[in-house]
Chain A
Amino acid sequence: MKTDNTTDTSKRKFLGGAAAVAGITIAPGVLLQTVQAKPDDQAVSNKVRWGMLIDTNKCADGCTDCVTACNSEHGLAGHDRPETDTQYIRKVTLKDKQTGHVKTLPVMCQHCETAPCADVCPTGASFKREDGIVLVDKHICIGCRYCMMACPYKARSFVHEDVYDQKDHTPRGKGTVESCTMCVHKVDKGENPACVTACNKEHKAMYFGDLNDANSEISKRLKEHGGKQIRADLGLNPGVRYQGV
């Protein structure tokens, strides 16, 4: 993860454009959106499509609350080897060379509608749930890492070493690929993902909700102010949208 303010053109290119022109300001308001809890015995349905909206204008430079919250929620302990350590979410820093304007934003699995990872998976381990959350079924994953190569967002990690003391809601083990689960265990209980909850405490840059529900906070915000897809040119229709990039 890049935390200094130097220009990293590869990431800028990857994000599909220069830094924002003008900031979209969103009126501060009550941001603790509630998500409808699903009964335990009911299967997920495609009536719902879970999504996330990230307002990069509010995302503070140097703040890594979302990353910390994610790591502790899922028990992601690294080995001080950044190239191979698991990351579900990371902060990316963008700098406009002309104006010197610096912007940071979190990038994680974008939960694509037509997910390339699921397309290339030879065993069916990578799949999209009916409600739009893209997951790895580690029972079936053989660790071939095709999905990691296919993902344009560099969102997936491979577990290289034995894992101990896993959280009971996030089973993790050596030899499988993993990525952001949109905190599916919390979402099924009607809670927000850990990163969103952490961000809401101070900066309020992340929103979670049902993109199919026109009355949800996220849909209203998207309707009013719009939201960009990263690499929209790929036509993947990701569930994570960004404002201010």
Chain B
Amino acid sequence: MVSWFQKNLQKSMLAVSVLLLAGSVNVNAEVAAPVVPKGKGEQCVEPTGEMRKNHMEMLKHQRDETMHNGIRTKKHALKECISCHVQADDKGQVARFGEDGHFCSSCHNYAGVNVDCFQCHADRPQELIGKGHKIKPHHTANFNDASVNKEALQALSKVSK
């Protein structure tokens, strides 16, 4: 027969081990893997692996074809990527490039790879222009964090004094 004490001991041991496990997870995953927002369509124009590895080549090729030869096929066009992958949330708000919620920056922020595309190109589908706040295109991360800006300003003002 298991005594009341033993029962509780088992429970508490279980709780401790769970805590330990949780702790070890936290230690090993300092940076959370990117959560990539789901697109509108069922299937991307190329297999996911192919897109992950070579999307930049496809975009660049398409860009030159469109710019110089007027080829306007939709398959590898940036505009189409954006119109499928960047969607408004339940509140009608859309993530801007630079924020983790934006399809492109979800991975680019994680990988620390900066791209200039959205200094010129729209980072949202045309119908969502006007939704979401303004962005500073030259920055990718933390520019919306008021505390960071405040700290930076304070640091600057200290230097100038």
Whether A40 lies near B71 (C-beta < 8 A) is: yes
Whether A173 lies near B120 (C-beta < 8 A) is: yes
Centre residue among A162, A167, A168 by max chain B CB count within 10 A: A168
Contact of B71 among A42, A131, A168 (CB under 8 A): A42
The smallest beta-carbon distance between A124 and chain B, in angstroms, is 10
- A199 CB–B CB distance under 8 Å: no
Contact of B130 among A130, A165, A166, A189 (CB under 8 A): A165
Whether A38 lies near B70 (C-beta < 8 A) is: yes
- B95 CB–A CB distance under 8 Å: no
Given A168-B122, A171-B120, also A162-B138 (CB < 8 A) = yes
Given A43-B69, A44-B69, A137-B67, also A168-B119 (CB < 8 A) = no
Closest to B122 in A: A168
B49-81 interface with A by 8 A CB criterion:
63, 65, 67-74, 79
Q: CA A137 – CA B88 in complex, angstroms?
A: 31
Contact of A139 among B63, B65, B69 (CB under 8 A): B63
- A188 CB–B CB distance under 8 Å: yes
Main secondary structure of the interface of B (DSSP, over half): loop
Residues of A within 8 A of B71 (CB): 40-43
Contact of A137 among B68, B122, B125 (CB under 8 A): B68
A130-153 interface with B by 8 A CB criterion:
130-131, 135, 137-139
Whether A164 lies near B120 (C-beta < 8 A) is: no
- A163 CB–B CB distance under 8 Å: yes
Residues of B within 8 A of A44 (CB): 69-70
Q: CA A168 – CA B128 in complex, angstroms?
A: 11
Main secondary structure of the interface of A (DSSP, over half): loop
Residues of B within 8 A of A171 (CB): 120-122
The smallest beta-carbon distance between A213 and chain B, in angstroms, is 17
A-B pair count, CB < 8 Å, reads 63
Residues of A within 8 A of B73 (CB): 40-41
The smallest beta-carbon distance between A112 and chain B, in angstroms, is 18
Whether B82 lies near A168 (C-beta < 8 A) is: yes
Residues of A within 8 A of B74 (CB): 40
The smallest beta-carbon distance between A194 and chain B, in angstroms, is 15
Q: CA A189 – CA B71 in complex, angstroms?
A: 11
- B137 CB–A CB distance under 8 Å: yes
Q: CA A222 – CA B11 in complex, angstroms?
A: 93
- B7 CB–A CB distance under 8 Å: no
- B135 CB–A CB distance under 8 Å: yes
List residues of A whose CB falls within 8 A of some B CB: 38, 40-44, 127, 129-131, 135, 137-139, 162-169, 171-174, 176, 184, 188-189
Q: Considering the complex of A and B, which 3 residue pairs feature the smallest CB-CB distances, nearest first?
A: A173-B120, A43-B69, A171-B120
Told that A129-B68, A131-B70, A172-B120 touch, could you supply 6 new A-B pairs with CB distance under 8 A? A40-B71, A40-B74, A168-B122, A173-B119, A173-B137, A189-B72
